[in-house]
Amino acid sequence: MERHTKMLNEYSKKTDLKKKESILFNNRKEVNINKGGTSGYVIKEGPNKGKVLGHYSSKSNNNF
């Protein structure tokens, strides 16, 4: 019977961990990239407010 108790305890710990991870994953805040036509992140507060950081560029693979 002790073997089953150990297995059930391990299972409950794993399910609790998965539940906590999913809650953290769902509550994170996303960064607004490409909002307003920019190709980077716009700083919203502080002395550098309005500056665009980290412009994203990619090379085209359309070399026909």
Structural domain boundaries enclosing 41: 2-53
Cα atoms in the Cβ-side hemisphere of radius 13 Å centred on 56: 9
Does residue 62 lie in a domain region?
Answer: no
Does residue 11 carry a pLDDT above 90? yes
Does residue 25 lie in a domain region?
Answer: yes
How would you write the chain as a 3-class SS string?
Answer: CHHHHHHHHHHHHHHHHHHHHHHHHHCCCCCCECHHHCCCEECCCCCCCCCEECCCCCCCCCCC
- Predicted TM-score (pTM) of the model is 0.45
Does residue 17 lie in a domain region?
Answer: yes
Total count of domains within the chain: 1
Does residue 32 carry a pLDDT above 70? no
Does residue 44 lie in a domain region?
Answer: yes
Model confidence at 64, in pLDDT bands (50, 70, 90)? low
Which is higher by pLDDT, 60 or 53?
Answer: 53
For residues 51 and 48, give the distance between their C-alpha atoms in angstroms, rounded to a whole number: 6
